Structure 1
Amino acid sequence: MSLMPGSLLTRGADVVLPAAPITADTHTMGAESLLRYLEIKVHHLIQERSWKNIHLIGSYDRQAVVSLHEKTGKLFNWERPTAEVHGRELVVKAFPGIDYVHHYALIIATYLAMTGRSSETVTYQLPDPALRRAAVDRLHLALEGDLVIVGWALEHLAPDSGVWRRRAGYAWQRATMHGRRVVYLGFQHSIWGDVAGQVVARLAELGARDVVYVGKVGALVPEVEPNTLLATGNESLVDSSLIKWDDFFGDFAAAQPGVRTGVHVTSPSILLENREWLAKHAEHAFVDPEIGCMGAAAHRAGIGFGYLHVISNNLARRYPADLSNERHHEVVRRRAILVGRIRDIIASRLADLNSHGERQS
């Protein structure tokens, strides 16, 4: 599933599309925070030099020039799009997902516009279905009804005594918890938007019975302070359709202290979340790019899915913590506490299921 506008999806992968910058002044982050966010994401070759043309494609190529802004101190989700120099032209290579390629094109175009440079140099091509499928099919795991926990902060969720086994682009660790086989699966690259849905579909093909996604969401209601609460639920608004799935957590996670629940909204790019977008979705609870894609894929495959996320930012009210300062000491400290809560809730849910003889592999 992709959340791109239908007009884009009907075009072939050989079509070159212009990347138009967003209007920074109307974005929910505010112009100052938005620019800091973009500076973290944009490849250093774009920040340091001017280019006649910048063209973005879907390609997982770690042999190209790696961005100096990659967060190399992390085990997972630290790789960023790479770049290839062709004279005065730059080809930027992002992991091949429709949403991710478009999202990163918006990042580049908006960064250039906000720094007084022309964004008309930026174009992109959406990856074709075969390329997208091949990129995810590189994932090979022997699963026999396992619970797969995928996403963020896995190094703090998996047992300290465990061993991470690595292949190109991902790593996993196995454990048994309350009688259930559990696999912790992390990716070095981003599994943004529709890619995350393809990952769930692939895990179902490989034999997973349930997938739990741990990550971060933005709050859409003003009273939620970032990095103080967790989010969960079993439905997401994808375009104009409400998607539901068989929730691994049932009512268990939502009943825990410090956990909020509600209808999630799946948005293909943070950059599209301006004040008009927020007004349209003000009655909903959370937003991120992946949850609806993953829930829909799980529903189609007939497996369970659940998410338990840190509420990392708030689109409806300005707080000191947002997506532009995630490495601040206090943000890291608060999130570490919440990750501990996620670990405990997952363990308690497995103990609860074990006591009732449910969902055992």
Structure 2
Amino acid sequence: MRPDLVLAQGTDTALRAAPIAVDGHTMGPDSLLRYLQIKVHHLIQERSWHSIRVVGGYDRQAAISQHEKTGKPFNFERPTAEVHGHDLMIKAFPGNDYVHHYALIIATYLAMTGRPADTVTYQLPETALCRAAVEPIDLDLASDLVIVGWGLQYLAPAGGVWRRGPGYAWQRAVVHGRRVVYLGFRHSIWGDVAGRVVTRLAELGARDVVYVGKVGALSPEIEPNAWLATGNESLVGGDPVEWDDFFGDFAAAQTGVHTGVHVTSPSILLEDRDWLSEHAEHAFVDPEIGPMGAAARQAGIRFGYLHVISNNLARHYPADLSNERHSDVIRRRALLVDHIRDIIANRLAIRPT
């Protein structure tokens, strides 16, 4: 059994979050620590706690992390904290992958900063809670293309009106005669959460879902922030999952776009050198694409992804997940977002849907 899945002492439902072996991680210790420092709640960085438990719960009334990014309309909310004397409860948006991932972040950060990590446990949320967390999405999406994810404020038409719901915002447009809804979330839709979002969108009438985000490359020659990624297959739990691709062969045929088999990983912390060796023949990695593709296939709708390649696990490049706020990274990604917008529009223009 993996050490991070051992039952915590004296509990029936809490799992121990063991820190990873830092020396074997693909990011390297310096970049990894910088990555953790921008993710860990400030109350954990400022003082020690007798215990830290990560649970599923979307609670913006609890203590908000001072490390949340400012000036972003989407994906800026991070897990919140609730103080119980000398104990801390961390509330992450309900999803197994996200709760586990954030617990690994905390435990590894504590270990890297010389503090006890055996105080960290996590409790996976019940399935009913995970499903209920996405039910507030309530839009009429009959036959629409829904574009979900990152960079939406630049993909949507300039001057459009964003309307707000609980934890999300959306904008409607017509692109080459096709109704399009741009849907962004303030919180993270990490891993299995993203799959449940697709299921919910299909229930609301969506016919196609496109996910725009960021992936890591597994081939050493691919420079970060210079290419896009697409495809129609992912390894999920080691099993291949294919879906009816919204883009067909169109996106892969465009300049500056790589295609290949994606690998679904529930946490960046688990992507060490052994993991990379096991998956080196594949193309990309992220937590969401596989669950979203599987959910779309089950719902009988089309799904496509078109992502910025943000980092490379197989070779060191100056840009990685620890310095995404650097001005040169932002500039280069802005050009790629323009390319994504053009590819989606051209796909709608030249191929009947």
- TM-score range (shorter-chain normalised) is over 0.9
Judged with a 3 Å threshold, the aligned counterparts in structure 2 of structure 1 residues 299 and 282 are, in CA distance, closer, same or farther, namely same
Which of 330, 345, 352 lines up with 1:347 in the alignment? Answer: 345
For 1:172, the aligned partner's letter is W
Corresponding residue for 1:263? 261
SS at match of 1:306: strand
Corresponding residue for 2:18? 20
Query: Runs of 5+ in structure 2 lacking a partner?
Result: none
Per-residue CA deviation, residues 120-140 of structure 1 (Å, 9 max, x unaligned), is 000110000110000011110
Question: Does structure 2 retain, via aligned residues, the 8 Å contact 1:269–1:289?
Answer: yes
Corresponding residue for 1:82? 80
SS at match of 1:321: coil
Cα drift, residue 14 of structure 1? 6.3
Distance between the aligned counterparts of 1:225 and 1:14, measured in 2?
A: 46
SS at match of 1:218: strand
Q: Structure 2-normalised TM-score?
A: 0.97
5 Å matches for 1:103-118?
103-118=101-116
5 Å matches for 1:147-296?
147-296=145-294
For 2:106, the aligned partner's letter is I
Distance between the aligned counterparts of 1:63 and 1:132, measured in 2?
A: 19
Distance between the aligned counterparts of 1:288 and 1:80, measured in 2?
A: 18
Query: Runs of 5+ in structure 1 lacking a partner?
Result: none
Distance between the aligned counterparts of 1:286 and 1:222, measured in 2?
A: 11
5 Å matches for 1:15-94?
15-94=13-92
For 2:290, the aligned partner's letter is G
Cα drift, residue 72 of structure 1? 2.1
Question: Does structure 2 retain, via aligned residues, the 8 Å contact 1:14–1:125?
Answer: no
Distance between the aligned counterparts of 1:225 and 1:163, measured in 2?
A: 35
For 2:129, the aligned partner's letter is L
Per-residue CA deviation, residues 27-57 of structure 1 (Å, 9 max, x unaligned), is 0000000000000000000000100010110
Per-residue CA deviation, residues 71-99 of structure 1 (Å, 9 max, x unaligned), is 12100000000000111000000000000
> Are 2:307 and 1:316 equivalent residues in the alignment?
no
Distance between the aligned counterparts of 2:132 and 2:331, measured in 1?
A: 38
For 2:300, the aligned partner's letter is G
Corresponding residue for 1:332? 330
SS at match of 1:217: strand
SS at match of 1:41: coil
Corresponding residue for 1:102? 100
Distance between the aligned counterparts of 2:211 and 2:199, measured in 1?
A: 13
SS at match of 1:335: helix
Distance between the aligned counterparts of 1:38 and 1:14, measured in 2?
A: 29
Distance between the aligned counterparts of 1:179 and 1:294, measured in 2?
A: 26
Distance between the aligned counterparts of 2:142 and 2:101, measured in 1?
A: 35
Distance between the aligned counterparts of 1:308 and 1:143, measured in 2?
A: 21
Per-residue CA deviation, residues 199-232 of structure 1 (Å, 9 max, x unaligned), is 0000000000000000000000000000000000
Distance between the aligned counterparts of 1:53 and 1:144, measured in 2?
A: 47
Distance between the aligned counterparts of 2:43 and 2:71, measured in 1?
A: 21
SS at match of 2:38: helix
Distance between the aligned counterparts of 1:352 and 1:302, measured in 2?
A: 23
Distance between the aligned counterparts of 2:200 and 2:73, measured in 1?
A: 22
Judged with a 3 Å threshold, the aligned counterparts in structure 2 of structure 1 residues 105 and 163 are, in CA distance, closer, same or farther, namely same
SS at match of 2:158: coil
Q: Structure 1-normalised TM-score?
A: 0.95
Cα drift, residue 309 of structure 1? 0.1
Distance between the aligned counterparts of 1:54 and 1:78, measured in 2?
A: 22
Distance between the aligned counterparts of 1:352 and 1:295, measured in 2?
A: 24
Distance between the aligned counterparts of 1:197 and 1:257, measured in 2?
A: 29
Distance between the aligned counterparts of 1:240 and 1:341, measured in 2?
A: 32
Distance between the aligned counterparts of 1:250 and 1:63, measured in 2?
A: 44
What is the RMSD of the two structures over their aligned residues, measured on CA atoms?
1.4
Which of 122, 133, 142 lines up with 2:120 in the alignment? Answer: 122
Distance between the aligned counterparts of 2:313 and 2:49, measured in 1?
A: 33
Distance between the aligned counterparts of 1:340 and 1:105, measured in 2?
A: 35
Per-residue CA deviation, residues 93-151 of structure 1 (Å, 9 max, x unaligned), is 00000000000000000000000000000011000011000001111011111000000
Distance between the aligned counterparts of 1:168 and 1:245, measured in 2?
A: 30
